[in-house]
Amino acid sequence: MESGKIYHVKPSLAASAAINAARHRLMSNHAVTDADGFWHEEARRLDWIRVPELAGNSSFDGDVRVSWFADGVLNVSVNCLDRHLDQHGDRVALIWQGEAEDDSRTLTYRQLHAEVCRLANALRALGIRKGDRIAIYLPMVAEGAVAMLACARIGAVHVVMFAGFSASGIADRLVDCGARLVITADAGRRGGKRVPLKACIDEALSLASTSEASAGHKVEHVLVLRLTGTEIAMQPPRDLEFAATVGQQPDQCEPEPMGGEDPLLLLYTSGSTGKPKGLLHTTAGYLLWARFTHEAVFDYKPGEVFWCTADIGWVTGHSYVVYGPLANAGTTLIFEGTPSWPEPGRWWRIIDKYQVASFYTAPTAIRSMMRDDPKFLAATSRKSLRVLGSVGEPINPEAWLWYYHDVGGERCAVVDTWWQTETGGIMIAPLPGAIAQKPGSATLPLPGVVPVLVDEKGQELSGEAEGHLCLGRSWPGQARTIWGDHARYVQTYFSTYPGYYFTGDGARRDSDGYYWITGRVDDVINVSGHRIGSAEVESALDTHDAVAEAAVIGVPHDIKGQALFAFVVLKASNGAAGIEAELARHVGQVLGRYAAPDTVLLAPELPKTRSGKIMRRILRKIATRDTAELGDTTTLADPAIVQELIKRLEARS
Ligand code: WT7
């Protein structure tokens, strides 16, 4: 099989790389033998108001503390903007390509700086201060990046929410973080259609205002950007026009001096239980990690055009659309549209149009474009590309090879990057000038990253092994806590294997020390690179009147990686016709369309142990029609259920 093949570092890439194999060895040794010294050296590449004396001060035991550069003082927006003005003020910082071909815009560092300052001044004029939370609910427009940087400038904590979340999903997050202000747009554009955003915020705010958890706290203002001319209901004095509010403000704004450990951002992500959790990233460590990893993993050279296709609502968009590229004085590309609208090949044309050097996307998108008519790819040159990145889920060797051969013309390094919202940035990945690639493997840890494989009992495994992936040491980009619930943070990440951070992923280490991520080992399902907790979808189903009980699992899917499969027990034995589709729609309304199950199977009961625990292992077998060998079913309270479910599924197809 070709997937067993090694793709050696290209001499052309190694020759110009900031990090070649020798330097990589040196850095990795330094980071192990003198971690504080190593990270201090990296920290010197940031712009400080006060240079830190302290580096790491973390403990994974007991209460768990993660702290980096706590006595340093800096401002993230200064690092991403002001610092570059002298030498690169006229360099393009941001290219925005709209969904319509002729709709595009570029902002130089000077222009971006001015826009950020104006919005930062406007926020201050509205009474926003250091530590206040600001929610951002915008489509892929330049103002998304402007809003994030404006918050960072005045020390407000931004909470970007994916524009695909539903009103109730937004409401939960607004209440949890206690946002004072929301920045949104009238509507977004997607595939030639309009996606209402302001209307969704209106609904979310009315839900939030009646939520007990809000404890009287409320959003004071909504700043509304006019993008599409969609009619919306403005509610003065709460709602304010973005242009009028920001336009009159001066284009200079005094940056807030921030402590290294002051909060920078919250990002909500799903776990195996309960509601989404707001992970907190802080100022110095997060910025350092975004800058360092962006430069190292993409061998990024200032002046090159860098394109990460992720939505800014996810962590990838934070670290590799906004903070990494801008901290490196780079040019970042933001594309509003989808890969195949108005026709396939749109992404390839954009790569040629802007001479993109690094392209970073998800396996689900790669697999879907692999299925397009090859003429669309063939119509483009893609000669500007040097590095092709993949993130979000394991990339299957077939997709890897297509990416390498067909998209990259065998000239590019393919970097499969493993990381998580919790890690702030890339943790395991091949560096283009230093590490040979194997299709399907994220390869080796970055300097200072210490992956550990443990068995079920928490015993550390050495050499070639397969087990649960943990991280043995803190790194600067690590999430510090779950907002408002440090106990949950300790419980979720540090209690399974005491002394280690547990990632929730399984992995194998081969004889070369390469890591192969095998997927989640908890009840988190990865659909098209979006993390969805089975418990979240189950609770959403439970809120439907007809539902008595539900169990949701992930099943393999050719394009999405995994798809959601829901087993639902109804309250009355006969549901109305079409209830399956209605339940899927209902989940879409409660959580957002991305979380609507592909399959809903009505079940008379769920297979449970005598103590009442749902046997998901059996549900997985049933859903994947892998029922020849069901394993031990003797602990089931009612083994007949299994045959009934198999029969029902067969009857459907
Ligand atoms: C989970 C994190 C990383 C930013 C986007 C998703 C899976 C991520 C890879 C990869 C195999 C991967 C893991 C991880 N994952 N990258 N290269 N190979 N699996 O961030 O939503 O926090 O999800 O995505 O399961 O735990 P996220």
pLDDT, tens digit, 9 for 90 and up, residues 325-341:
999 999 999 999 989 99
| Helix, strand and coil in the chain, % to nearest 5 | 35, 25, 40
Q: Is residue 277 helix, strand or coil?
A: strand
Strand order in the sheet with 515-520: 460-461, 451-454, 465-471, 501-509, 515-520
Name the pLDDT band for 610 (thresholds 50, 70, 90): confident
- Find the 230 Cα to ligand 1 centroid distance in Å: 35
Written as six digits, the tokens of 602 are 């009505």
Question: What was the pLDDT predicted at 602?
Answer: 95
Question: What was the pLDDT predicted at 246?
Answer: 98
Mutate which of 266, 420, 444, 562 for ligand 1 pocket (most atoms within 8 A of beta carbon): 420
Question: What was the pLDDT predicted at 460?
Answer: 97
Average pLDDT estimate for 62-83 = 98
d(CA 318, CA 346): 23
Which ligand 1 atom is at minimum distance from the Cα of 418? 17
Which ligand 1 atom is at minimum distance from the Cα of 315? 4
- Find the 394 Cα to ligand 1 centroid distance in Å: 8
Torsion region of 544: left, alpha or beta (phi above 0 gives left; psi -120 to 50 gives alpha):
beta
CA-nearest residue for atom 11, ligand 1, is: 394
Nearest to 253 by CA among 53, 82, 13: 82
Average pLDDT estimate for 49-74 = 98
d(CA 52, CA 250): 32
- Find the 391 Cα to ligand 1 centroid distance in Å: 6
Question: What was the pLDDT predicted at 653?
Answer: 74
Q: What is the number of alpha carbons within 13 Å of residue 612 lying toward its C-beta?
A: 1
pTM, to two decimals: 0.95
Average pLDDT estimate for 1-26 = 89
- Find the 362 Cα to ligand 1 centroid distance in Å: 10
Question: What was the pLDDT predicted at 194?
Answer: 94
Name the pLDDT band for 612 (thresholds 50, 70, 90): confident
Written as six digits, the tokens of 39 are 């990270």
- Find the 329 Cα to ligand 1 centroid distance in Å: 26
Q: Which residues line ligand 1 (CB under 6 A)?
A: 269, 315-316, 391-394, 416-421, 442, 503-505, 517, 520, 526, 529, 531
Backbone angles phi and psi of 149, in degrees to 5: -70, -35
d(CA 119, CA 242): 9
Question: What was the pLDDT predicted at 573?
Answer: 65
Question: What was the pLDDT predicted at 33?
Answer: 95
Question: What was the pLDDT predicted at 163?
Answer: 86
DSSP H or E segment with residue 354: helix 346-354
- Find the 520 Cα to ligand 1 centroid distance in Å: 9
Contact 294, 325 (CB under 8 A): yes
Question: What was the pLDDT predicted at 285?
Answer: 98
Query: What are the CA-CA distances from residue 475 to residues 423, 479, 485 (Å)?
Result: 8, 9, 21
CA-nearest residue for atom 21, ligand 1, is: 531
- 643 Cβ neighbours under 8 A, 6+ residues apart: none
CA-nearest residue for atom 24, ligand 1, is: 392
pLDDT in tens, 486-503: 999 999 999 999 999 999
By CB atoms closer than 10 A (0-12, 13-18, 19+), residue 549 is: middle
The pLDDT > 70 percentage for the chain reads 99
Question: What was the pLDDT predicted at 41?
Answer: 97
Mean pLDDT of the chain: 95
CA-nearest residue for atom 12, ligand 1, is: 393
Question: What was the pLDDT predicted at 574?
Answer: 64
- Find the 194 Cα to ligand 1 centroid distance in Å: 29
Question: What was the pLDDT predicted at 317?
Answer: 98
- Find the 488 Cα to ligand 1 centroid distance in Å: 21
CA-nearest residue for atom 23, ligand 1, is: 420
Which ligand 1 atom is at minimum distance from the Cα of 504? 26
- Find the 271 Cα to ligand 1 centroid distance in Å: 13
pLDDT in tens, 86-145: 999 999 999 999 999 999 999 999 999 999 999 999 999 999 999 999 999 999 999 999
Mutate which of 423, 503, 517, 523 for ligand 1 pocket (most atoms within 8 A of beta carbon): 517
- Find the 641 Cα to ligand 1 centroid distance in Å: 35
Q: Does residue 161 carry a pLDDT above 80?
A: yes
Which ligand 1 atom is at minimum distance from the Cα of 310? 5
Q: Does residue 2 carry a pLDDT above 50?
A: no
Residue that wins the pLDDT comparison between 199 and 636: 199
